[in-house]
């Protein structure tokens, strides 16, 4: 009996660990980073989930600890072409997210960021925001980080889709353990993500989401430094009214930004007795021929107002020119994605005389902080000047870091209180939040004033020469910022 007992114990020792241990590590593959690779793109390709990239970062760093030929990834958003990384198996990735693998970033404080880096989102806007966030991160860490620790930015691709935005926010909060979230470009993404932030009590500073309901919900967790659609519509309508149009065509997108923006603008036109009609397209639309034909068949517009974002707007603007309804034929107010003038001219070679609403201080009024950021941004991106959404992204991360330091804690209530009281000077100028828990939005004022930066500069600028840089554009409205006269079609 004793003999059989010993044999049984030996069998258990051999069997039990095999049954209880995790799947063997390093059954995946090595990979050499190619041009245009992103960790999120590789995660989608090899793991079937664009948001699974932290597992690649984790296992690559584990490999690096054993073999220096592997890259050491200190920022999950930055990988070098030619770097050797490790792609885990789906089982290894699952083990990482289940907590079976060691996570990187110990001794750091994590701040999450949402940007669109894939279609149908505005890749032009997303890449600009990404570059700006990287500059902000570098500066924050060079200044000592937050609460004596370095900041790790966890950046996720929203793809411009609300469901992706919500999923990304969930992952940032519940898997990555961030203490705050910044960024976001598309309003549809912001509308979905803010609900997740609210449900999880996560302090969030939205950078470029215009829908009034972003702050109109009155959530304690949600702040915004971009203008509201309400603010931009005021400037658009006031400017267009100076042109004395009989009929305005509004070209908008079927999104949480485009639909309410068109509705607000139409209401303001109606109040002034200006007739308008709205035309709709889905985000990512490539062929606008049917819409343009409908425009040409109806009332001839005196002005076309484009409320399409990113590359979708570029597609429309060039096709109008090809169909005789372009900016040299009709006054067109383009979307602010035109502020990336290199991308604009590449996509809209017939874009001379396009106007667009620019957000942020005109160059002549840039602060020292604006100039310092612009110098780094131009050097890093080779773009002529920082776009509004780049400035907003930069400020959102710097502001969140300042709030955490002033809170003296990563407690969400302490961060929210610090954001409500913040006095921040950045690329956009001086930012404060006038209305919050200690100063409620007054009766009769739009609810969207809650946790809203109330004084963003909004101007109308114009491309007056083909190929002109956004750094040199003429400000044609309002008179406060005006630097020159508008050129009309036919001039």
Chain segment 201-228, per-residue pLDDT in tens = 999 999 999 999 999 999 999 999 999 9
Average pLDDT along the chain? 90
Residue 40's pLDDT band (boundaries 50, 70, 90)?
confident
Q: Which has the minimum average pLDDT: 48-57, 306-315, 369-378?
A: 48-57
Identify whether the C-beta of residue 160 lies closer than 8 Å to the C-beta of residue 257.
Answer: no
In Å, how far are 120, 135, 255, 349, 395 from 141, measured between CA atoms? Answer: 33, 10, 36, 41, 15
Whole-number percent of the chain with pLDDT over 90: 76
- pLDDT, tens digit, 9 for 90 and up, residues 76-103: 667 889 999 999 999 888 877 764 333 3
In angstroms, the CA 132 to CA 48 distance is 29
Residue 25's pLDDT band (boundaries 50, 70, 90)?
low
> Tokens standing for 139?
């500066």
Is the pLDDT score of 14 beyond 70? no
In angstroms, the CA 197 to CA 50 distance is 20
Q: Domains (ranges, CATH) in the chain?
A: 29-97 (3.10.350), 109-227+385-449 (3.40.50.2300), 230-362+457-477 (3.40.50.2300)
pTM for the structure as a whole = 0.72
Is the pLDDT score of 373 beyond 70? yes
In Å, how far are 114, 199, 261, 479 from 170, measured between CA atoms? Answer: 12, 10, 27, 45
pLDDT of res. 24: 59
pLDDT of res. 13: 38
Sign of CA dihedral 322, 325, 327, 332: negative
Is the pLDDT score of 104 beyond 70? no
């Amino acid at each position: 009996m004793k003999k059989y007992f010993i044999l049984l114990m030996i069998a258990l020792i051999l069997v039990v660990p095999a049954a209880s241990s995790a799947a063997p590590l390093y059954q995946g593959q090595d990979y050499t980073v190619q041009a245009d690779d992103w960790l999120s793109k590789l995660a989608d390709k090899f793991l079937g989930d664009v948001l699974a990239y932290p597992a690649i970062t984790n296992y690559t760093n584990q490999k690096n600890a054993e073999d220096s030929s592997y890259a050491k990834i200190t920022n999950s958003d930055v990988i070098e072409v030619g770097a050797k990384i490790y792609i885990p198996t789906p089982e290894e990735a699952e083990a990482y997210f289940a907590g079976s693998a060691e996570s990187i970033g110990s001794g750091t404080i994590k701040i999450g960021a949402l940007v669109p880096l894939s279609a149908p989102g505005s890749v032009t806007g997303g890449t600009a925001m990404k570059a700006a966030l990287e500059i902000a991160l570098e500066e924050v860490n060079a200044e000592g980080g937050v609460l004596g620790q370095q900041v790790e930015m966890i950046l996720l691709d929203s793809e411009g889709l609300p469901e992706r935005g919500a999923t990304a926010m969930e992952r940032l909060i519940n898997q990555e353990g961030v203490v705050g979230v910044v960024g976001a470009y598309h309003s549809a993404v912001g509308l979905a993500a803010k609900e997740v932030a609210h449900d999880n009590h996560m302090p969030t500073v939205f950078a470029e989401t215009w829908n009034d309901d972003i702050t109109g919900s009155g959530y304690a967790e949600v702040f915004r430094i971009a203008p509201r659609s309400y603010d931009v519509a005021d400037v658009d309508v006031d400017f267009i009214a100076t042109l004395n149009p009989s009929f305005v065509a509004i070209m908008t997108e079927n999104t949480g930004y485009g639909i309410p923006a068109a509705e607000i603008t139409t209401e303001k036109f109606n109040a002034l007795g200006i007739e308008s009609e709205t035309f709709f397209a889905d985000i990512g639309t490539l062929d606008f021929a049917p819409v343009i034909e409908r425009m040409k068949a109806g009332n001839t517009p005196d002005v076309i107002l484009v409320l399409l974002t990113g590359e979708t707007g570029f597609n429309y603007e060039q096709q109008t020119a090809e169909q005789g309804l372009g900016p040299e034929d009709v006054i067109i107010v383009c979307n602010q994605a035109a502020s990336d003038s290199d991308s604009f001219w590449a996509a809209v070679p017939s874009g001379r005389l396009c106007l667009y609403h620019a957000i942020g201080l005109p160059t002549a009024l840039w602060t020292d902080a604006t100039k310092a950021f612009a110098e780094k941004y131009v050097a890093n991106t080779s773009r002529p000047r920082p776009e509004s959404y780049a400035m907003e992204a930069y400020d959102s991360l710097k502001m969140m870091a300042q709030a955490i330091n002033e809170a003296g804690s990563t407690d969400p209530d302490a961060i929210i209180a610090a954001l409500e009281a913040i006095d921040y000077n950045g690329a956009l100028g001086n930012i404060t939040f006038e209305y919050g828990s200690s100063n409620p939005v007054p009766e009769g004022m739009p609810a969207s004033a809650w946790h809203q930066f109330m004084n963003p500069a909004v101007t109308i600028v114009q491309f007056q020469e083909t190929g002109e840089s956004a750094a040199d554009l003429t400000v044609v409205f309002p008179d406060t910022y005006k630097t020159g006269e508008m050129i009309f079609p036919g001039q």
